[in-house]
Amino acid sequence: MKILVTGSYHSGKSTIIRSLTQGKSISIDKKNTTVALDYGIANIEDLRINLFGTPGLKHFKILRQILSKGADGVLFMVDSQDKNSDQEAKAIWQEVQEFLPGVPITIAANKQDLPNARKVAQIREDLEIPPDVYIIPMSAKTGQNVENALRVLLLVTVQKELNLLKIMMRHDGEVRGIQFLLDDLNIEMRALRQHLNWLELRGYVEVDWRTSIYWLTPAIKKVIDQPKLILKEFSV
């Protein structure tokens, strides 16, 4: 899966990627400011997550547009303490809506370890965040809720495919399961092939077209079956 990590200047994008990858990320920066991208691979719920961090300065819009292509979800970093960065954050939020319409977004309210950090409710009001978007209070520096921020985004992203994945569970591992799935969904084989290829690329399924069998991966079954306790904890 590809996750875009974006947000305003100095909101903590590079730091959270370093934290999620145990320091094994790549950063193209100048004087500790990202000027191209940050990249790293995280493993959450046994799913391989490719993290692409964007520069936050205003004049890097074209880079943010390029890096956003093909993203399955957006982890949007917000500086909880610096209200002066809100206008910049709003501008980048609008970019995300333009570049990735309909793609799931989770807000990571960073720097909660600092004095005078704003509460979630205040951040939602100040940035005019829609009521159905999760805001996770966290600290990239201390590690507080770092993995939970990405985990919530993962759950929200998977929920977009939840109805299809539950239907797919009916014929998981069955001989001719692809044909049975085709009948259940009442779509053309070409459309089903495209969607299964999309799911396989992201680690949701494994497909054997020769035997017409598919398997939901153990990682995705875990995400489907686990209770939504995390989402309840960070209620919208």
Q: Give the residue extent of every domain in the chain.
A: 2-159, 162-224
pLDDT value, residue 113:
93
**Could you tell me the two tokens for 129?**
């965040």
pLDDT value, residue 34:
56
pLDDT value, residue 221:
85
Residues 96-129 as b or e (16 or more Cβ within 10 Å = b):
beebbeebbbbbbbbbbbeeebbebeebbeebeb
Q: Which fold has domain 2-159?
A: Rossmann fold (3.40.50)
Q: What is the CA radius of gyration of the chain?
A: 19
Phi, psi for residue 209 in degrees, rounded to 5: -70, -25
pLDDT value, residue 208:
95
Across the chain, which has 236 residues, the per-10-residue mean pLDDT values are 91 91 75 70 86 82 89 95 92 94 95 93 94 94 92 88 89 94 92 93 92 92 68 68
Phi, psi for residue 171 in degrees, rounded to 5: -120, 20
CA 46 centroid distance within chain: 15
pLDDT value, residue 56:
66
pTM of full prediction above 0.75: yes
Q: Are 4 and 73 in contact (CB under 8 A)?
A: yes
Which H or E element spans position 140? none
Q: Which fold has domain 162-224?
A: Arc Repressor Mutant, subunit A (1.10.10)
